[in-house]
Amino acid sequence: MVLQLENVSLRREGNWILQNVNWQINRRENWVLFGLNGSGKTAILNLLNAYYFPTKGNVTVLGMEFGKTYLSEKLRKQIGFVSYSLQEKFHPGDNAFEVVLSGAFASIGLYETPTDEMRKKAVGLLESLGCIRYANRNYEKLSQGEKQRVLIARALMADPSLLILDEPTNGLDFIAREQLLESIEKIAKDPDGPSLIYVTHHLEEILPVFNKTLLLKEGQVFAAGETRKLLTSEKLTEFFNLPVQVEWKINRPLLTRLQVDEKERISTY
């Protein structure tokens, strides 16, 4: 088991951010965490990374149960985390190669001397993710898509058991987005790779490799299960409280808002 949340609730500054969340991920399952802004996605990520502890309920991540183990540093070294918020934390002088190497130490910045083996691994990751040509360029000078690829390479340096991708295509144009999604699909298909959690509020980004989906709404689990069975017009109309239609093309869902008369026409077709 990769993680288990049992009846988890989280209270922050007097408000319930999460309520009665149940979620289990098994090895080799790749999940989408889907929800609108403010649904509680970030709160769940902070729980999984041990930045927050549950107000109620039990959290176990990679065999470590919260409250019974000193887990912060130990746990984070086993979780690869890619988020737009990380981009602003690196030193302006760091190049892409140094950013990737820092992943071996789970540090923001390179403060220890990497081994030759670490350097070789970083080069291999840069090559596999198409980043090697700008390995010596300053990280801050890279495009948004290039930065995200470097962050994924960094996250993979420590051979994580779980890789969390938090809105990784944020700010990318169509071509850069699709190129990044191709790289993510390659990671997800690796039999020796980590389990993935892909966090998004864009339905069209959901790849076939993400066989499970959790729909989060207002801090509660709206539904969870097999992606293809869950992401239907009926279920998402209920989720959004808005008439929508889901079409699957090339094994990816496309979401369209319906006018009321369109909804009635389709329901009686």
3-state secondary structure labels for all residues of 210-246: CCEEEEEECCEEEEEEEHHHHCCHHHHHHHHCCCEEE
Q: What average pLDDT does range 241-257 have in this prediction?
A: 95
Question: Looking at the domain 1-78+162-177+195-227, which fold is it?
Answer: Rossmann fold (3.40.50)
Mean pLDDT (whole number) for 125-149? 94
Give the pLDDT band (50/70/90) at residue 86. Answer: confident
* pLDDT at residue 267 tops 50: no
Side-chain half-sphere exposure of 211, counting CA atoms within 13 A: 10
State how far the Cα of 51 lies from the Cα of 76, in Å rounded to an integer.
10
Query: Is a pLDDT exceeding 70 seen at residue 70?
Result: no
- For the cut 80, the answer to whether the pLDDT of residue 260 exceeds it is no
Block residue for tokens 């130990």: 74
- Considering the chain, what percentage of its residues have pLDDT values greater than 70? 94
Q: What is the pLDDT at residue 93?
A: 87
Tell me how crowded residue 168 is: count the other CB atoms within 10 A of its CB.
Answer: 25
Residue 262 has pLDDT above 60, yes or no: no
Query: Left, alpha or beta for 68 (phi > 0: left; psi -120 to 50: alpha)?
Result: alpha
In the predicted model, what is the mean pLDDT of residues 35-57?
92
Mean pLDDT, residues 60-87 taken together: 79
Measured at the CA of 200, the angle between CA 226 and CA 37, to 5 degrees, comes to 120
- Identify the bridge partners of residue 12 per DSSP, sorted by sequence position: 15
Q: How far apart are the first and last CA of the chain?
A: 44
Sheet strand arrangement including 15-25: 15-25, 3-12, 56-61, 64-65
Residue 113 has what DSSP assignment? P
Question: Measured between alpha carbons, how far is 204 from 210 in angstroms, rounded to an integer?
Answer: 12
Is the pLDDT higher at 203 or at 268? 203
C-alpha to C-alpha distance for 141 and 112, rounded to whole angstroms: 24
All CATH 3.40.50.300 domain ranges in the chain, comma separated: 1-78+162-177+195-227
pLDDT of 147-157, one tens digit each? 999 999 999 99
Write down the pTM of the prediction.
0.91
Q: Where are the alpha helices (DSSP H) in 27-115?
A: 41-48, 72-76, 96-102
